[in-house]
Amino acid sequence: MSESYKVKGNIVFIGEFQHISDKFQKREFVLEVPDTNPQYTELISLEFIKEKCSLLDNYQIGMEVEAEFNLKGRKWDGPKGTKYFNTLQAWRISNVGSQGAPPAAYQQPVQNQLPAPSFNQGSIDESDNVPF
């Protein structure tokens, strides 16, 4: 029996369905998780497999969620030697934010809030020379 883990964060990426075979599909998503230093965040990649992939259909970028997952690992013997891979295989996701509204940092900016500048050739201020 494998141990289960939980992680909370904001969704920053939701991938498309990846059809590996007729009976197997997976779908990746990435959570931005605050680190102990608020200046830096961790980007944690998780994946759903098989019928669990559709759980992401109810979520969008910016939502704060909690994902429950199992830590999986496997060995691969390739032409350049042996490699080991780890996967965070999610099996449950739930919304922890306020009614699913994306945080302000993820909302789309409103276009054309500032009026377009007007240029009057007769009133150019030479003291404001910018080299670009």
pTM of the full structure: 0.68
Q: Has residue 126 been placed in a domain? A: no
* CA separation for the pair 103, 64 (Å, rounded): 8
* pLDDT higher than 90, residue 26: yes
Total domain count for the chain? 1
Q: Has residue 46 been placed in a domain? A: yes
* pLDDT higher than 50, residue 3: yes
For the stretch 57-102, pLDDT in tens is 999 999 999 999 999 999 999 999 999 999 999 999 999 976 544 4
For the stretch 27-61, pLDDT in tens is 999 999 987 777 888 999 999 999 999 999 999 99
Q: Has residue 17 been placed in a domain? A: yes
Q: Has residue 112 been placed in a domain? A: no
Q: Has residue 125 been placed in a domain? A: no
* pLDDT higher than 50, residue 113: no
Q: Has residue 81 been placed in a domain? A: yes
- Longest alpha-carbon distance in the chain: 79
Is residue 107 very low, low, confident or very high in pLDDT (cuts 50, 70, 90)? very low
